[in-house]
Structure 1
């Protein structure tokens, strides 16, 4: 009986943690009830902003779909298969993008929101809530990551490999049997060797599936917050720059997630579902922001606290996933440890991805 990887119900633990701040902390800690009237600005025009938001929904949806689906079709291209060195370099580039997203986009936004002049000095300006919540989020991600992997590793029967590896197991046994020249001792030894190896491969595949699921949760939370802020804004000058920047942002972030989904080797339905949810989250957030634009103000104390805490949660999750599950797992693994030249190329890819996404922070 093969393991199917962590079900979506287990990921509700992540969502409960991330959204708990939305309901608990804003009601416990005091905030300023009003932040003053919106200053007159020639860029603020609700009628002109609406068409730009519609354009944003369509363009971001398309670029998100392209970004997350692009790695999923590379299996048909031999040079880009997960077993090749080029895939490792591309994955390092995507991991650099996700790392920069956490450090350069999400974390600074949270700092700005939770230190806004619209909030009371006590407690918001007296304690670094952004760093504290990001730290707790990283620890909680470690707990979910570790416990989920441990639970499903124990649930999986000894010696049973995932169905995706069954063909490789049969081929391996046949090769070892031929190499043994028909001698039962060598054939038996070969089967034991390949069985142990495939158990390790099955455990690694399970890790890939946990990583893909948890990473998607963090990206989805961040994407909804971005979309909600854009949808609620009526500043045409801000929206114009954000649309272009977010298209690139979502495309490259989708490439990182798509690479993780590819390594997880899900069946087509799960791949399609994960790609779909990633693609629609930012457009959904924009549509929700448009619908709530009459009552939701992105500079209100409640909105600042809610978005700031959610961004801090997302930042901690993304930074942990990028450093621990993506970069450290690959760079400390046997493939890169045994190839210094590939290590250097991968480091260059990380710096290129992180640098490009950091540069994008100027506009988004």
Structure 2
């Protein structure tokens, strides 16, 4: 602190002619390093094992007491011994006041007592705690934890019931004609499910796979596009399954048509006038892409093609549902309940998405029993993953390189499958070639709102799961 002392020196000389007055001002500057003079400290409080006291708005460390029971609320009769400042405690003993700026001093023990996540945001993926913003070294060994196994076993059945509710709700309501497939409620549920599938593919699975392949315990990958390449492989496999399935259905239909023609004695060569004009190359292209033709109606997918599409969707969901079950169980108790609530909503929403697609299958593609089997498979798969996780709970290491590669590959493959099904078989089919193409403004607006809601909600859940 700099203090100024003004000294006024008046030198007066009386002469016969006049009087001269001179005023001299002297400034005395106190060294900046000088410590302030205090008489007492108060509002004392502990930080770890050290007591800190206040002098006005400044905080100073008290050197001397080392145990919490010795700390006092204030110290008085402060005085100096040389350049050091001391105050007197209740027993009459001197304690030293460390006269250093709090900006230059770190509270002893604060680092150890700092709550987890105050400087870094952590969440679990496949039993691995991923943290953003921290600077601590990452350990690739299995983290020893005490797990509440009875709680995990009990909540397994909650996940089972929630998944079953989500997937069977649209199946059973349409089966018993409570809601028809043209009903506004069903349309909204279908588009909400489409948004869920799209968000699951990109926000959940692709991001998780990228986290896995970027794990420090795996080392630096020589091929930086690993996640995208596996994602593309899943997308291509889905396309291949759809394409080969459609070609197989077409081949079987032609074979049956040829057999029927032989039985009726109808010619089957190119001169056959009974063959519809829709068999021309142009019409074949339009039908395969569900586009309208001037001389015919829009081609709808055959029941077998629709069943293949839904099986594609369910395959992608099943792959990552097993991982979801394992991820939930091996998460630490500090995060388990939060992750459980998130996955509970995830399973219900994803069940609705799959259930609406299963419910749309015609009877020629799947009977009610087959639909229930498909729905039951989804309902059981996450609890099965949880059961596997419980079985390997004490030996599971999410940072093991082989585990990282396996989980990252399955996540990226599932993402590719769901991306193909969500964009081509659900989004494009409904909006570009289906009922919503010429739907009324109200129906289109409601469906679009549901679609966006599905994407947003599942993207929000992606922060924790």
Q: Shorter-normalised TM-score: what interval?
A: 0.7 to 0.9
Deviation, 1:232, is 3.3
Query: What whole-Å deviation, never above 9, does each CA across 1:274-304 have from its counterpart, x for those lacking one?
Result: 1111111111011111112233312211111
1:219 aligned partner: 317
Asked whether the 8 Å contact 2:142–2:396 carries over to 1, the reply is: no
Say whether the 8 Å CA contact 1:56–1:283 is kept in structure 2.
no
- Does the aligned pair in 1 maintain the 2:231–2:415 contact within 8 Å? yes
TM-score (norm 1): 0.73
Does structure 1 residue 92 correspond to structure 2 residue 167? no
> Counterpart of 1:147?
244
Aligned equivalent of 1:131: 228
1:74 corresponds in structure 2 to 173
Match in the other structure for 1:188? none
Q: 1:253 aligns with which of 323, 331, 350?
A: 350
Say if 1:35 and 1:301, in contact at 8 Å, map to a contact too: no
Q: Name which of structure 1's ranges 337-346 and 130-139 shifts more when overlaid on structure 2.
A: 337-346
Contact 2:326 2:389 in 1 (8 A): yes
Native 8 Å contact 1:232 1:297 kept in 2: no
For the Cα contact (< 8 Å) 1:97–1:353, is it kept in 2?
yes
TM-score of the pair, normalised by structure 2: 0.58
Structure 1 counterpart of 2:447: 346
1:121 alignment partner, SS class: coil
Do the aligned residues in 1 keep the contact of 2:233 with 2:416 (CA within 8 Å)? yes
Structure 2 residue runs without a partner (length 5+): 1-137, 260-294
Are residue 228 (structure 1) and residue 228 (structure 2) matched? no
CA distance in 2, matches of 1:107, 1:98: 12
Aligned equivalents of 2:457, 2:298: Cα separation in 1: 39
Equivalent pairs counted in the alignment come to 287
Match of 1:61 among 138, 149, 160: 160
Written as runs of structure 1 = structure 2, the 5 A alignment for 1:2-13 is: none
Deviation at 1:319, TM superposition (A): 1.1
Name the CA distance, whole Å, in 1 between partners of 2:384 and 2:243: 31
- Structure 2 contact 339–464 (Cα < 8 Å) conserved: yes
Answer whether contact 1:159 1:199 (CA < 8 A) is retained: no
Are residues 197 and 306 of structure 1, via their aligned partners in 2, closer, same or farther at CA, if it must alter by over 3 Å? Answer: same
Of residues 387, 390, 412, the one that matches 1:290 is 390
Aligned to 2:334: 237
Partners of 1:64 and 1:278 within 8 A in 2 = yes
The 2-side partners of 1:294 and 1:324 are apart by 42
Contact 1:52 1:240 in 2 (8 A): no
**Do 2:140 and 2:400's aligned partners in 1 also have CA atoms closer than 8 Å?**
no
Given that 1:206 and 1:264 are in contact with CA atoms closer than 8 Å, whether structure 2 keeps it comes out as no
Q: Distance in 2 between matches of 1:211 and 1:334?
A: 15
| 1:159/1:105 CA distance change after superposition, 3 Å | farther
Report which structure shows greater RCO (CA 8 Å, sep ≥6).
1
Matched ranges for 1:157-176 at <5 A: 157-158=256-257
Aligned to 2:459: 358
Larger fraction in strand: 2
- CA shift in 2, pair 1:101/1:94, >3 Å: same
CA contact (8 A) 2:206 2:415 kept: yes
- The answer as to 2:217 corresponding to 1:118 is yes
Equivalent residue, structure 2, for 1:333: 433
Q: Structure 1 runs of 4+ off > 4 angstroms?
A: 76-79, 196-201
Distance in 1 (CA, whole Å) between partners of 2:221 and 2:434 is 50
Structure 1 pair 112/122, CA: closer, same or farther in 2 (3 Å)? Answer: closer
1:70 aligned counterpart, secondary structure: helix
Residues 169, 355 of structure 2: 8 Å contact kept = yes
What's the secondary structure of 1:317's corresponding residue?
helix
Counterpart of 1:208 (choices 306, 312, 315) is 306
Aligned pair partner of 1:315 in 387, 403, 415: 415
| Residue deviations 1:94-137 (CA, integer Å, cap 9, x gap) | 100111111111111111111001012143xx512111110111
* CA 1:39–1:85: 2 relative to 1, 3 Å: closer
Other-structure match for 2:405: 305
Cα distance 1:147–1:278, how it changes in 2: closer, same or farther (>3 A)?
Answer: same
